[in-house]
Amino acid sequence: MGAWFADNGLLLGLALLDGLASAALIFLVAVGLNLVFGVLRVLNIAHGSLFAIGAYTAAGLGAALGSGALPAWAALGVLILAAALVGAVLGPLIERLLLRRIYAEENVLQLLVTFALFMMLEDVQKLVWGVQPVHHDAAMRLFGTFDVPFGSDFIPFTAYQLFVLPGIAVLVLVGLVWFLRSTLSGRMIVAVTTDREAATAIGINADRVYLLTFTAGAVLAALGGALASPTAAIVPGVGASTIVLSFAVVATAGLGRIEGAALTALMIGLGRSVAVYFFPEAEVLIPYLIMVAVLLVKPQGLFGTLETRRI
Amino acid sequence: MLRLEDVQVSIAGAPVLRGVRMYVPPGGRVALIGRNGAGKTTTFRAIMGLLPIEGGRILLAGADASGIAAHERARHGIGYAPEERRLFGGFTVEENIRLPAEVLRLPAVETRRRLEQVYSLLPELSGLATRKAAGLSGGQGKMVALGRALMVGTRAVLLDEPFQGLAPALAQRYAEALKRLRDALPDVAILISESNPELLRPLVDRSFVIERGEVSS
Amino acid sequence: MTHRREALLALLFALAVLAAAFAAPWLRFVLTLALAKGIAALGVMLLLRAGQVSFGHAMFVAFAAYAVAFLAGRVGDALLLLPLAMLLTSLLGLVIGLFVARYREIFFGMLNLALSMVFYSLLEKFYSITHGTDGMRVPAVTWAGMATERVGGEWAVLVAALVLAIGFALLARLYLASPLGEALQGIKTREARLEFMGLPPRRVLLVAYVLSAAMAGTAGALIALTTRHVTPLMGYWTASGELVFIVILGGAGGVLGPFLGAVAYELVRVYAAASVADAWQLILGAVLLAVILFARGGLFSLLRGRRA
Amino acid sequence: MGITRRDAVLGTAFGGLLLPSTLRAQPVQRPQELRIGITTFLSGPASVFGVPGRQAAEMLIDEINRGGGIGGVPIRPYFVDEGPGVEHLLGEFRRLVLNERVEVMLASISSGSCLACTPLAEELRRVTLLWDCGTQRIFEEKRYQYAFRTQANATPEVLAPLLYLLKRKPDFRTIAVLNQDYAWGRDSWELWRAGMQALKPDARVVAELFPRFGATDFSTEVTRLLALRPDVILSTSWGGELDTFIRQAAERRLFERSTFVMPLAESSLERVGRSLPAGHIVGSRGDHWFQHPAPADKARLDRFVNNYRQRFNSYPIYPTYHMYQALSALQAAYAKAMAGNGGNWPNEQQLAAAFPGLEFDSPTARMTIREDGQGLEPQLIGTSRHTDALPFATLSDMIVFPPELVTAPVGRNSVEWLRGLSRDILDRVPAPAG
């Protein structure tokens, strides 16, 4: 063990740095999905589409505003604005027009409504943005790189991935925890997550909470997409792979648990990058192995509690 | 205060309430007696608007409840303590009790007045104020649920099987709290459900018996 | 619906399938796939009776398909391959079922999804054995010892699919009417009551799970014999979603539902792809939404003439 | 599309009662229109190739039809999406052949699709041109009477950049690979390694990275490669993944530490702009490049490039040239078959018989189809450079490899052939031009 660390300790350090950025993105997408699931009890497959649409919008907006002219903070602002816009428009639209009609239905119908929506949005993205990879990396380039010493060598990392992404993820985490603990709207969300009926009985309008939560989830999905767009080319099909990973996070985290999503995202992000270094063939399996392992030990997920179920 | 006229409710296609008729006068203390599965909880949930009713009607202070959304019923002064206590486990006891007042956006003065009222009626709660609700014992939880219901229940409180699962000593304390309640808040109607009619006899003015979804008095 | 009316409907359905396949040769292939997917969807429907949604049953379809691809060179007859693939898939279903039958709702769904994604990744990863995404060719097989040319082979697999579809539909009907099958409803509503009646819920669900795996396996074997080329995509999560889609489209109210749904699904897809090759998902999604929002019981309930 | 839609409905409702599945009788009538089916990716990540392929087909078919079609018969294309997978594709293949009565199929971008379609084409006796898929396995594992490939296969596409690397940077010592984890990524690496073991056995492989197909972040892989400092990094990736890899590698200065060999990068050049620095090796799955140093007919190349740019506002990438080649081969084959049939429209056997030995024009060269059905396509490899004229990298020091040099001979298994290569093949590599 000690000898292994002497040989590979530095590499492991690099792997952890890489894992942070990827964990940050996973967290941003999954936390929104988990929040929505916690309150609405609907597993929103179209969450992946919102991620993709956020990414497309951010890249499109970034390109339209022109690169280079904007300072780094403004470029980042544009991305966040784009995400907020997409989530704030699409979230209420989807919740009001579609989900609202099916809250009383069996969960398979709810799942399929979002599946149908996901299928439709896949083609809508194609019709709007075409099929060529869309990319706008001004935000990544403007932050420059940061050299990490590595023995006698050094490894350049992008400051965007090393600091900005994890920084935003931490801000979102802290902000969400604060919001849910310390504001009335947040406490109403927690109350509905815990027990919708009891919450209704004390006067909470669950419909409004649903709308608010779904919109927040949509904004978070789009934000994840927007923040991913400077580092990754956006192509058709990106929503499908995003959503499966987020599902794994939700089930592992425990329903509706913010801190669970953070911890799971961190485990998956770090696990995958460590795998790339030491067992590259296992990389794709990591999220699922973590999920199966956690559920074997804790059937309700990391932070999950047994639910009371009403007939 | 509360009137049920021929109320019919089905769950998953099976009729659970068949023409329930009941009346709780303002300030009245009424018991709903019935065995497990007779329809007590369903009656309470129907009153709270948590289940759709298929026939008949429910009147809240004379107004047809069908026009009052479930979450609006708290604003109409009806508090509800469900069978299992159903607290918000992540919040402290005081947060649980305060939340209804915050949701209704009561003025700070009014909130404080009601909170003090709850603490004076249920003195054991003051010692628990900062505890997390998830860590409470069953009896403590029932007490908190009652306190929470009282925060909004200015006209009526519905208590679903409050004595269920309580040790005799605790049940005694709960019954005493209810007596204090009766004296301190004479205008608040109370509807309590219970499977054992003996327990409630000293507490109520009137009893309804529910059996297989039908009520007789 | 009375037994007689349902039997009559099933007969009409089978005749319609045969007539369509006779009239339009290219439909033979599409209808065979539809029947196969109908069998898999029937299995998914059994789990839905217990309120459990599997978003991973395409794993069993893909497993059986690959089993056929590997075994066809050694066991060259379809009448041996089909039961063999069914058996192997049932065993896999038993092993996985022992694990997942402990979980409910989202955890059940997500575990199935996760395991199917692991299997999908393995099909891609073990490139030297499976040829990865390129997939594997299924060697030509005989039917009861008889070699068939293209048209004969297509008819053979269509008829086999039809016979198996009817067989599984009957089996599912008997099963759902048996105490074990009726207990499925109990998992959805009150599990404690099942325990009280001396039926451990886990075992009730496990039986349904193994049965559903066997059906998915049969479907996978039929698909492999039809397409003669298997790829990992058969096990991707969207393929699992497709099966659930088919159940809801057809209606979970009766054993005919999944078959109606599968035929409708395949035809809508072919039709959509023929008219707008690059927006067929839009059409398929819209059809599904329309069914869920306006015809809750699926096609089966429309046929039955009242809403479920 | 009106008739397609109606046929689909009628076919569904009444089947072939109204539409007899075969109208074929001898001798063959010259049809009203020449129906061809084209399978291509219209959804999913590979639509980055599929949609330009479709666009090129539409443009070229318009041009052919304006010029009177093939033998006086206008072409009518039917497009099929490969995205949903093999089941859907095989169903559509049958529908097009049996119901729409297409005479020719142009099949597939994905090798998996080609492997699935080709035996079916043979059973249905329908001429099928493999217009873009790369797997060398098809004609090496089996002979087909009706399937032909109008472009190269993976072997020349991998060997040419290997030879180019050995010419330009003969003394590299270490190499790492980063390929997409799917058939092409794995196959191309196997071919490369076979050739490298024969031609440069002392090269050491320091990392084999196969990130998940569809991955959107390669930071970890880039870090790994930065730490390893291999002399050469090979990546046969394409599409959004190659774009992402190039941009992340550029931002983190990986291009300064290693020489990249990217056999498919031509299709990403315009999109990645100046992110791809000068001095790295770029291929294009063939010899197509709008600045080809010595095209067989410069006017033809310019016409194609300009028409495409005018219509679609971007430079044509390799799938569009491959589509050109397939349609060009089709024209040549019909002309040859009709000439051999007294000027009459050929039946399917006559048409199929025209392909072996067929010569036809690509935008850049004169091409041949071998007796085994495999097309012989030259390979152009170059080194990236930047000029002021264009906002993206173009190629310098281009070498156009003659197909005979880099393609495994008829009947040979590519991997074995590559393993048996000797170093004198390097002497036969032409000098760079341009």
Neighbours of chain A (3+ CB pairs under 8 A): B, C, D
pLDDT at A70: 66
Q: Judge: D43–A18 Cβ closer than 8 Å, yes or no.
A: no
pLDDT at C167: 95
DSSP assigned state of D105? E
pLDDT at A82: 80
In-domain check, residue D400: yes
% of chain A residues with pLDDT over 70: 95
Contact list in A for residue B89 (CB cut-off 8 A) is 194, 305
Question: What is the rounded CA–CA span in Å between residue A268 and residue A245?
Answer: 9
Q: Judge: A233–D244 Cβ closer than 8 Å, yes or no.
A: yes
pLDDT at C199: 81
Final residue of a domain: which of D351, D369, D387?
D369
Q: Report residue C126's pLDDT band, with 50, 70 and 90 as the boundaries.
A: confident
Question: What is the rounded CA–CA span in Å between residue A134 and residue A122?
Answer: 15
Residues D74 and D199 in one domain: no
- Put simply, whether A198 touches B (Cβ < 8 Å) is yes
Q: Which residue of C has its CA nearest to A103?
A: C293
Average pLDDT of the segment spanning C163-172 = 95
Question: What is the rounded CA–CA span in Å between residue D201 and residue A83?
Answer: 52
pLDDT at A1: 62
Contact list in C for residue A124 (CB cut-off 8 A) is 282
- Put simply, whether C25 touches D (Cβ < 8 Å) is yes
Q: Are strands C229-230 and D127-130 parallel, antiparallel or unpaired?
A: unpaired
% of chain C residues with pLDDT over 70: 97
Question: What is the rounded CA–CA span in Å between residue D375 and residue D357?
Answer: 9
Helix A2-40 and helix A258-278: axis angle, to 10°?
A: 140
pLDDT in tens, A258-284: 889 999 999 999 999 999 888 888 888
ipTM reported for the complex, 2 dp? 0.85
Phi, psi (deg, nearest 5) at residue A15: -60, -40
Contact list in A for residue C114 (CB cut-off 8 A) is 248, 251, 287-288, 291-292
Residue D1 has pLDDT above 60, yes or no: no
Cα D230 vs. chain centroid, distance in angstroms? 29
Beta carbons within 8 Å of D361's beta carbon, 6+ residues apart: D296, D297, D300, D328, D332, D367
Q: Which residue of A has its CA nearest to B75?
A: A203
pLDDT in tens, D352-363: 999 999 999 999
Instruction: List all residues of chain B from 37 to 66 with a beta carbon under 8 Å from chain A.
Output: 45, 48-50
Q: In angstroms, what separates the C-alpha of A114 from chain C's closest C-alpha?
A: 9
Q: Judge: C135–D115 Cβ closer than 8 Å, yes or no.
A: yes
pLDDT in tens, A19-30: 998 899 999 999
Provide the mean pLDDT of chain B: 89
In-domain check, residue D56: yes
Q: In angstroms, what separates the C-alpha of D350 from chain A's closest C-alpha?
A: 39
Question: What is the rounded CA–CA span in Å between residue D377 and residue D153?
Answer: 9
Q: Judge: B72–A204 Cβ closer than 8 Å, yes or no.
A: no
Q: Judge: D223–A157 Cβ closer than 8 Å, yes or no.
A: yes
Q: Report residue C187's pLDDT band, with 50, 70 and 90 as the boundaries.
A: confident
Two tokens, residue A68: 């280079």
Chains C and D touching, counted as 3 or more CB pairs less than 8 Å apart: yes
Residues D258 and D342 in one domain: no
Residues D357 and D213 in one domain: no
Neighbours of chain D (3+ CB pairs under 8 A): A, C
Residues D33 and D59 in one domain: yes
Q: Judge: A235–D227 Cβ closer than 8 Å, yes or no.
A: no
Question: What is the rounded CA–CA span in Å between residue C224 and residue C228?
Answer: 5
Q: Kindly list the residues of chain A whose beta carbon comes within 8 Å of any beta carbon in chain C.
A: 37, 43, 45, 98, 101-102, 105-109, 111-113, 115-120, 122-124, 126-127, 240, 244, 247-248, 250-251, 255, 281, 284-285, 287-289, 291-292, 295, 299-301, 311
Paired residues of D34 in beta bridges: D75
Question: What is the rounded CA–CA span in Å between residue C12 and residue C16?
Answer: 6
Lowest mean per-residue pLDDT among A178-187, A216-225, B62-71, D247-256: B62-71
Chains B and D touching, counted as 3 or more CB pairs less than 8 Å apart: no
Q: Report residue D332's pLDDT band, with 50, 70 and 90 as the boundaries.
A: very high
% of chain D residues with pLDDT over 90: 85
Q: Report residue C107's pLDDT band, with 50, 70 and 90 as the boundaries.
A: confident
**Run of H or E residues at D39:** strand D34-40
Residue B133 has pLDDT above 50, yes or no: yes
Residue C215: burial class (beta carbons within 10 Å; 0-12, 13-18, 19+): buried
* D243: nearest CB among A233, A241, A281: A233
Q: In angstroms, what separates the C-alpha of A269 from chain B's closest C-alpha?
A: 28
pLDDT at C305: 56
Place of tokens 């010892």: C145
Provide the mean pLDDT of chain D: 91
pLDDT at A244: 85
% of chain B residues with pLDDT over 90: 44
In-domain check, residue D290: no
Instruction: List all residues of chain B from 136 to 165 with a beta carbon under 8 Å from chain A.
Output: 148, 151-152
Q: Which residue of C has its CA nearest to D3?
A: C275
Q: Judge: A109–C109 Cβ closer than 8 Å, yes or no.
A: no
Tell me, what amino acid is at C83?
Answer: P
Q: State whether residue D230 is helix, strand or coil.
A: coil
pLDDT in tens, D275-288: 999 999 999 999 99
Q: Judge: D211–A272 Cβ closer than 8 Å, yes or no.
A: no
Q: Report residue C308's pLDDT band, with 50, 70 and 90 as the boundaries.
A: very low
Residue A187 has pLDDT above 90, yes or no: yes
Q: Report residue A125's pLDDT band, with 50, 70 and 90 as the boundaries.
A: very high
Range of the domain at D313: 5-152+297-369
Inter-CA distances, D434 with D268, D374, D431, Å:
21, 29, 10
Q: In angstroms, what separates the C-alpha of A257 from chain D's closest C-alpha?
A: 26
| Torsion sign, CA atoms A92, A93, A97, A102 | negative
Residue D183 has pLDDT above 90, yes or no: no
Q: In angstroms, what separates the C-alpha of D97 from chain C's closest C-alpha?
A: 8
Q: Report residue C252's pLDDT band, with 50, 70 and 90 as the boundaries.
A: confident
* C284: nearest CB among A43, A107, A119: A119
pLDDT at B171: 85
Q: Most A CBs within 10 Å: which of D49, D55, D220, as the mutation test of the A interface?
A: D220
* C107: nearest CB among A102, A240, A295: A295
SS (H, E, C) chain B: CEEEEEEEEEECCEEEEEEEEEEECCCCEEEEECCCCCCHHHHHHHHCCCCCCCEEEEEECCEEHHHCCHHHCCCCCEEEECCCCCCCCCCEHHHHHHHHHHHCCCCHHHHHHHHHHHHHHCHHHHHHCCCEHHHCCHHHHHHHHHHHHHHHCCCEEEECCCCCCCCHHHHHHHHHHHHHHHHHCCCCEEEEEECCHHHHCCCCCEEEEEECCEEEC
Residue B190: burial class (beta carbons within 10 Å; 0-12, 13-18, 19+): buried
- One DSSP character per residue, D44-93 reads STTHHHHHHHHHHHHHHHHHHHHTT-BTTB-EEEEEEE-TT-HHHHHHHH
pLDDT at A177: 93
**Run of H or E residues at D149:** strand D147-149
Residues D280 and D331 in one domain: no
Residue D60 or A304, more confident:
D60
Residue D25: burial class (beta carbons within 10 Å; 0-12, 13-18, 19+): exposed
Q: Judge: B88–A197 Cβ closer than 8 Å, yes or no.
A: no
Contact list in D for residue A145 (CB cut-off 8 A) is 251-253
Domain tally, chain D: 2
Contact list in A for residue C109 (CB cut-off 8 A) is 43, 111
pLDDT at A136: 80
Question: What is the rounded CA–CA span in Å between residue C90 and residue C87?
Answer: 5
Residue D248 has pLDDT above 60, yes or no: yes
Residue B216 or C217, more confident:
C217
Q: Report residue D18's pLDDT band, with 50, 70 and 90 as the boundaries.
A: very low
Q: Are strands B63-64 and B55-60 parallel, antiparallel or unpaired?
A: antiparallel
Average pLDDT of the segment spanning C206-228 = 96
Q: In angstroms, what separates the C-alpha of B126 from chain A's closest C-alpha?
A: 21
Average pLDDT of the segment spanning A176-184 = 93
Question: What is the rounded CA–CA span in Å between residue B150 and residue B147?
Answer: 5
Q: In angstroms, what separates the C-alpha of D431 from chain C's closest C-alpha?
A: 36
Q: State whether residue A153 is helix, strand or coil.
A: strand
Strand order, beta sheet including B214-216: B78-81, B156-159, B189-194, B29-33, B206-211, B214-216
* A237: nearest CB among D50, D214, D247: D214
Residue D82 has pLDDT above 60, yes or no: yes
Residues D328 and D423 in one domain: no
Q: State whether residue C281 is helix, strand or coil.
A: helix
Q: Report residue D9's pLDDT band, with 50, 70 and 90 as the boundaries.
A: very low
Q: In angstroms, what separates the C-alpha of D211 from chain A's closest C-alpha?
A: 8
pTM for the full model? Answer: 0.88
Q: Judge: D227–A234 Cβ closer than 8 Å, yes or no.
A: no
Average pLDDT of the segment spanning C233-244 = 92
Question: What is the rounded CA–CA span in Å between residue D323 and residue D39?
Answer: 11
Q: In angstroms, what separates the C-alpha of C281 from chain A's closest C-alpha?
A: 5
Residue D25 has pLDDT above 80, yes or no: no
Residue C292 has pLDDT above 60, yes or no: yes
Residues D37 and D140 in one domain: yes
Average pLDDT of the segment spanning D319-331 = 97
Provide the mean pLDDT of chain C: 90
Residue B198 has pLDDT above 90, yes or no: no
* A123: nearest CB among C189, C238, C279: C279
Q: Which residue of A has its CA nearest to C188?
A: A311
Q: Judge: A203–B74 Cβ closer than 8 Å, yes or no.
A: yes
Residues D45 and D138 in one domain: yes
Largest Cα–Cα separation, chain B: 47
In-domain check, residue D32: yes
